[in-house]
Chains A and B, each alone.
Chain A
Amino acid sequence: MMEGGPAEIEASPVDDPKRSAAVARALWDNFSQLKVDFAGRRVLDFGCKAGDFCRCALTEGRARTVHGVDGEPHWESAGRDRPELENVSLFAGDLLIVPELQNEHYDIITSTGSLFLLRPEQVEPVLAWFFDHLVPGGQLLVTTRTIFSYQNGDLHRDLHTPIPHLLFSAAILDDYLASRGSAATARALLPYCAATWLMLFHDAGFDIRHVLRHESDIPDEILERFMDKLSWYDRRELRTSAITVLLQRASEAPQISDLAQPAEAE
């Protein structure tokens, strides 16, 4: 296990090209702590936004080819052309059905700041797709926020109150935000702590190789002040704002004969 890294994982600001590129570079630096070799590899970036991370994988990591996929073609709506780099291709749409991707297999799949924005019912199919479209031995690099991120689903843009989603119910927050004309919602973030994310990765079939827990920068005095509402949570989970995880599709699957039935064990 490793600790450290950026305190909060930023969503990529697609409407600001300079900042978007800077965030992508920070995410690249974050992943580089895991010492994954991108050179000559086929890479998919899930939730590629404006495509800046794809550029990093190609120019910094020297990947052979990079595909990016995002629900919306942010690279167009942000007023920018698709990156004009050879060997980078960006696709708009649902990962599970974009035709060009369904027969592809990758050495590395990356996802930064996207998984936590999926709907709950999408998570397991997306993780299964990652597993099925990685070559045996292939790697999945994920950075995702947890419920203990102070940003929650970017509520910090609307509210000064720290960790509002841990202090107020979703209904109260949503009513309040709506009364102020905000489109934000307290339900935008998947309700998963780091341990739950790790169990989801395991369930999908991945071996968990490394975990970077990014500590929340919520001051201790804030946590202490509201401990009547927060003391129920595991302290380590409460302090984990985001995780960066290196996962691997094992080269060999376990054998059915590895597992005995209850009666056989007696």
Chain B
Amino acid sequence: MQAAATAPDRAQQHEIEKSRLEWGRKQSDGLWTNFCAQYEPIIRNQTVLDFGCSWGYFCKYLVDRFSPRRVIGVDISPGWDGDHGWNWHEHADKLSFVAGDITEIDNIPPGSIDLIIAISVFQYIAPDKLETTLERLYSLLRPGGEMLVRTRVVTSYIGADLHQQFALPYVHLLYPRRFLNKVAEARRGGPVRYLNSLSASSYLFLFHRAGFEIADANRRMNRAAPEILQQVREKYPFISEEELSCAEIDARLLRPYEPDELDTITSMTRTRVAPGSASRPAAAPVLDDPSE
């Protein structure tokens, strides 16, 4: 009789599966159809940066399908050079990869990117690093450039892929991380994967604070295990349904055109358009100080 797979086996099997091009193709097609396509981004003849590209499957997908000027994949853990059923060097005229921390990489010129795509990567970055990362990504975009973001939030039912270790959905919302780490240490010899504690509104504020204009943002809600979700609601009655039930955010962010000079701000009247605004809101904020 064959023993049932244990949790570590499942995680290992999943990692093996992810290292195959066929998995990458399916995944990329799903991400394009279910995420990117809703924003109708222009890829043809554009320079695109895939932030957190892992094995580079999505980069290959963009090159194969859309004729970009160039696709640059960036990841702190390079996975594109392994044996995954394809050789990215065959696409080197359109495709390049950079390994490292985006805040320290210096071979991508500021303002040189038309479109950034960041899928399921921000969630694993600690808040202090996330802020500098967002500011760096902002600086790499040309004015008018866009960033498409999908990020899991802390209230996601799987947390940091905890469904691979625990049967209970929403386990990190029902038990504290320090306890989950203790369990994982006992069972696997290491803590659970890090997931930052940012909820949806905090993420959206961080995008704004880094300079991005939020052109669109959609909350993808938790739908798994409604009876457990109800337990979560009962544990957190002081958090709204919209914030608590959010699993992921999809957002389209713009790098607006900035004022040429700071004086532009001080001379504005309340009826003029705000600096840093790509669109023209009905009522524009103005900065003034108490001495004026």
Contacts and interface: CB of A to CB of B under 8 A. Distances in A.
A48 interface: no
Given A191-B205, A191-B206, A228-B282, A172 B239 contact: no
A176 B7 contact: no
Contacts of B292: 160
A159 B287 contact: yes
Contacts of A129: none
B176 A206 contact: yes
Interface string A249-266: 000011010111111111
A179 B262 contact: yes
Interface string A212-236: 0100000000000110110011111
A195 B202 contact: yes
Interface stretch (B65-73, B88-96, B126-134): B126-134
B287 A161 contact: yes
A238 B165 CA distance: 35
A199 B183 contact: no
Interface in B113-139: 126-128, 131, 135
A228 B127 contact: no
A58 B165 CA distance: 47
Contacts of A16: none
Contact of B127 (A186, A191, A225, A229): A191
A198 B178 contact: no
Given A120-B131, A196-B198, A228-B282, A1 B126 contact: no
A255 to B, nearest CB: 9
A193 to B, nearest CB: 4
Interface stretch (A21-29, A105-113, A163-171): A163-171
A161 B285 CA distance: 8
B237 interface: yes
Contacts of A120: 126-128, 131
A200 to B, nearest CB: 5
Interface residues of A, number: 69
Interface string B203-241: 011101111101001000000000000000001111110
A159 B165 contact: no
Contacts of A142: none
Contact of B201 (A193, A204, A226): A193
A15 interface: no
A89 B175 CA distance: 35
A158 B1 CA distance: 73
Nearest to A213: B238
A262 B187 CA distance: 13
A211 interface: yes
A203 B281 contact: no
B166 A260 contact: yes
Contacts of B210: 169-170
A140 interface: no
A147 B205 contact: yes
A187 interface: yes
B177 to A, nearest CB: 4
Contacts of B49: none
Given A161-B288, A233-B204, A263 B10 contact: yes
B101 interface: no
Contacts of A266: 4
A263 B5 contact: yes
A172 to B, nearest CB: 6
Interface in A19-59: none
A164 B197 CA distance: 25
Given A175-B262, A186-B209, A200-B197, 10 more contacts: A161-B287, A168-B275, A179-B266, A192-B202, A198-B239, A203-B176, A205-B176, A206-B176, A213-B238, A261-B6
13 contacts: A120-B128, A160-B292, A172-B259, A176-B262, A186-B209, A190-B127, A193-B199, A196-B202, A256-B187, A261-B6, A261-B166, A261-B167, A266-B4
